[in-house]
Amino acid sequence: MDEMAASTNGADATAAMAEELVASGALDGLFSRIDSGEVQLTGDGGMLPAMIKAALERGLRAELTDHLGYDKGDPEGKHFPNSRNGTTPKTVSTEVGDVALDVPRDRAGTFTPMLVPKGARRLGGLDDMIISLYAGGMTVREIAHHLAATIGTELSHETISNIVDEIADEVMAWQNRPLEAFYPVIYLDAIIVKIRDGAHVRNKAAHIAVGVDMDGIKHVLGIWIENTEGAKFWAGVCAELANRGVRDVLIVCC
């Protein structure tokens, strides 16, 4: 809860800062150059990738300074056992295009950056974008084409499939998680959603079980996709809930 509140506060502060800059007129010149096509926002050579590059590299340098214990150029650095040792080139894919980074390194090889972890080739937001596009009905091939055309990022079909598979594993773990033994009320309902079925996107019923705990808090207990609903189907849902730990319910609302 605290992390969510901090994230919300951070987003609000960023939005307020952006509004302040726009209102001050400080960005008018930049907006004019964007409108005229002189400056592009995303893709190769775009302004946003350049800004992300500058921000990430500044953060990485700060991380290395913290790791070494002294600032760059500090004469006292010669008394420390470890020192800076140039940079290593690395390209990461982001929501606004590929970003070529110069990642600083240390002579002892003990520096492990947190901002851009070793081995990471994508920043988190890109994974979210891919999952959103897939959920919206796009195929792996269409997603690859969309990313290349819109933000200039080229990912293999295998990479995109792996990203989608990772979230699928998380969904299965969530769907099979243990449940509380007692819920005073459980709601059973269904909504129609668009689901990818092979090469097509079809309307299907997403059946949902929502449990209300003793504190009055609602929890989604599970979601099941079926073409139709009936007594036999809901009996199977109830059996699954029991297998996952539910032992007693006062009221079931259908």
| Beta bridge pairs of residue 251 | 185
* Residue range 212-235: mean pLDDT, rounded: 85
In terms of pLDDT, which residue wins out, 190 or 168? 190
Q: Based on the domain organization, do 36 and 116 belong to the same domain?
A: yes
Check residue 13 and give its pLDDT: 66
pLDDT band of 2, cuts 50, 70, 90: very low
Strand order in the sheet with 182-197: 218-226, 200-212, 182-197, 248-253
Return the percentage of the chain with pLDDT > 70, whole number. 89
Structurally, the chain folds into a number of domains equal to 3
Do 96 and 191 share a domain, yes or no?
no
Cα angle 154, 133, 170; round to 5? 100
Nearest of 125, 129, 250 to residue 186 by alpha carbon: 250
Q: Which of 83, 99, 120 corresponds to the end of one domain?
A: 120
Instruction: Answer yes or no: is pLDDT of 10 > 60.
Output: no
Most confident segment among 13-17, 196-200, 218-222: 218-222
Report pTM: 0.51
Q: What is the pLDDT of residue 48?
A: 79
pLDDT at residue 3, rounded to an integer: 44
Looking at per-residue pLDDT, the higher value among 25 and 113 belongs to 113
The whole-number pLDDT of residue 9 equals: 56
42 vs 219, which has greater pLDDT? 219
Residue 143 lies in a domain: yes
Same domain flag for 169 and 200 = no
Structure tokens at 149: 């055309």
- pLDDT at 217 (0 to 100): 92
Q: In the prediction, which pLDDT does 6 show?
A: 47
Q: Where are the alpha helices (DSSP H) in the chain?
A: 2-24, 28-35, 47-68, 124-135, 140-150, 157-175, 231-243
**Domain identity same for 87 and 136:** no
Q: Output the pLDDT for position 52.
A: 83
Higher pLDDT: 41 or 84? It is 84
Give 130-160 pLDDT, tens digit per residue: 777 776 667 788 888 888 877 777 778 887 8
Asked whether residue 31 falls in the same domain as residue 113, the answer is yes
Range of the domain at 193: 179-253
